[in-house]
């Protein structure tokens, strides 16, 4: 069981070379002058390898923006992001794109899959884009764990919401990325499918040492994580280790959410 890394806001986390992803002085500002909105107002955070971390906070706290910047989907206004030893903010678009398809996996809230492609093609898409062939044994293993063996030939609209999210998880896990980012992965699911999806993410962390970072606003979803990072008004606002739904709820109340 990996030990969650403790950070103190403002302190350089450069010494923490064991982190899968970390950010230093991350700022994201929309607009300028008096109307400027600071979605991220200087965030220093690190996520350990093999950990399952939830990012939580009230609406508008900047949790989605943080994830976008960490995943190289969005450019930060200031600050730095490292994926392992790679500094992301200095990369060109094509380098970032290549990095995303090989070292980062995504699970989004909705619209995860390309409607034209059957499940199998959706799963291997990032590796195909990178011009790689998936390891067949690993592919079979991932598909079996996610219970998708019978569904590989189906198109997304022939699958239930839970099945679609499982296909998205399979796609995220297949290239053995440095980190999987999940953005409200259960937001569109009923509670049973949601629990199933969270269990699968959790077991991928436990069984294969996959690093997972998940944005959520649901305390019971956050309870599946090893650690919860709380965000408010674009700043870190504390964190919890080994959270439960009740402790998360308490911490959120403390933020005034």
Partner 1 sequence: MRAVTLASIRAHLPRLIASALAIVIAVGFVVATLVLNQTSRATVLDAVGAPYVGVDAVVTSDDGSGLADELDRVAALDGVAAVDTTWETGVQALLPGRTGQQYLLAESVADAPALRWQSLADGELPDAPGEIAVSERTGATVGDRFPVTSFAPDGTERDSSVTVTGVVDLGGDPTAGIYGRLWGTAEQLRAWGAVDPVELRVAGVEGVPAGDVVQQVAAALADRQVAVRTGTEQAEEAAAQLTGDTMALTAVLLVFATVAVLVAGLVIANTFAVLLAQRTRELALLRCVGATARQVRRSVLGEAALTGLAASAVGVLAGIGLAAAVSAVAEAADSPVPLSGLSVPWIAVAAGLAVGTATTLLAALAPARAATKVAPLAALRPADPAPLRSRGGALRLVLGLLLLVPGVLLMGVGVALADVLVALPGGALSFLGVVLLAQRAVPPVVGAVGRLAARLGGVPGRLAAGNATRNPRRTAATATALLIGVTLTTAMVVGAASTRATAQAGLAAQYPTDVIVQGDGSVPASLPGRLAAVDGVVAASSLTAATVTGPDGQETGVSGLDAATAAPVLRSTGDVPIPAAGEVVLPWWADSSWGIPAGGPVTFTAGDRTATLTALYGDVERPTLPVAELARLAPEAAVDTVWLRLADDADHTDVIDEVTDVATAAMPFAFVTGLASERAAIDSVLDVLLLVVTGLLGVAVVIALIGVGNTLALSVVERRQENGLLRALGLTRGQLRGLLAWESALVAGVAAVLGVLLGSFYGLVGVASVLGSYGELVLSMPWLQVGAIVLVATVAGLLASVLPARRAARTPPVAAIAG
Q: Could you tell me how many residues of this chain bind partner 1 (CB under 8 A)?
A: 31
| Single residue of 29, 80, 89, 97 touching partner 1 by CB under 8 A | 97
CB of 250: closest distance to partner 1 in angstroms? 29
Whole-number Å distance between alpha carbons of 171 and 124? 6
CB of 84: closest distance to partner 1 in angstroms? 17
Q: Which residue is associated with the tokens 């069984």?
A: 207
Chain residues 16-75 in contact with partner 1, contact rule CB under 8 A: 64, 68, 73-74
Task: Identify which of 107, 3, 85 has the alpha carbon closest to the alpha carbon of residue 51.
Answer: 3
Kindly tell me which of 157 and 253 has the beta carbon lying closer to partner 1.
Answer: 157
Decide: is 91 part of the binding site for partner 1 (CB under 8 A). no
CB of 113: closest distance to partner 1 in angstroms? 8
One-character DSSP codes across 178-202: SEEEEESTTTTS-HHHHHHHHHHHH
Decide: is 108 part of the binding site for partner 1 (CB under 8 A). yes
Whole-number Å distance between alpha carbons of 58 and 192? 24
Decide: is 111 part of the binding site for partner 1 (CB under 8 A). yes
- Which one of the spans 12-20, 102-110, 191-199, 243-251 is the region binding partner 1 (CB under 8 A)? 102-110
Whole-number Å distance between alpha carbons of 64 and 70? 10
Task: Identify which of 77, 136, 108, 121 has the alpha carbon closest to the alpha carbon of residue 197.
Answer: 108
What is the CB neighbour count within 10 angstroms for residue 134? Answer: 17
Residues in the chain: 257
Decide: is 100 part of the binding site for partner 1 (CB under 8 A). yes
Chain residues 135-164 in contact with partner 1, contact rule CB under 8 A: 156-157
Binding site for partner 1 (CB under 8 A): 64, 68, 73-74, 93-94, 97-98, 100-102, 106, 108-112, 114-117, 125-126, 128-130, 156-157, 171, 183, 188
């Amino acid at each position: 069981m990996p030990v969650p890394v403790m950070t103190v806001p403002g302190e350089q986390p450069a010494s923490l070379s064991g982190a899968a992803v970390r950010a230093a002085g991350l700022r994201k500002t929309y607009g300028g002058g008096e109307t400027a909105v600071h979605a991220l107002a200087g965030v220093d955070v690190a996520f350990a390898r093999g950990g399952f971390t939830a990012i939580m906070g009230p609406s508008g706290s900047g949790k989605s923006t943080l994830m976008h910047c960490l995943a190289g989907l969005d450019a930060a206004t200031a600050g730095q992001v490292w994926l392992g030893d790679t500094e992301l903010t200095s990369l060109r678009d094509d380098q970032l794109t290549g990095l995303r398809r090989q070292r980062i996996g995504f699970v989004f809230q909705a619209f995860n899959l390309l409607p034209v492609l059957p499940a199998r093609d959706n799963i291997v898409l990032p590796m195909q884009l990178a011009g790689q062939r998936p390891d067949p044994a690993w592919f079979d293993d991932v598909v079996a764990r996610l219970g998708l063996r019978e569904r590989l030939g189906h198109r997304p609209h022939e699958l239930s919401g839970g099945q679609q999210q499982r296909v998205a998880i399979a796609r995220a896990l297949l290239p053995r990325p440095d980190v999987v980012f999940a953005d409200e992965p259960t937001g569109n699911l009923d509670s049973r499918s949601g629990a199933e999806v969270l269990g699968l993410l959790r077991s991928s962390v436990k069984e294969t040492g996959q690093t997972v970072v998940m944005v959520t606003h649901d305390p019971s979803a956050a309870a599946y994580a090893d650690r919860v990072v709380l965000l408010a008004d674009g700043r870190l606002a504390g964190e919890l280790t080994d959270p439960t739904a009740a402790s998360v709820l308490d911490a959120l109340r403390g933020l005034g959410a």
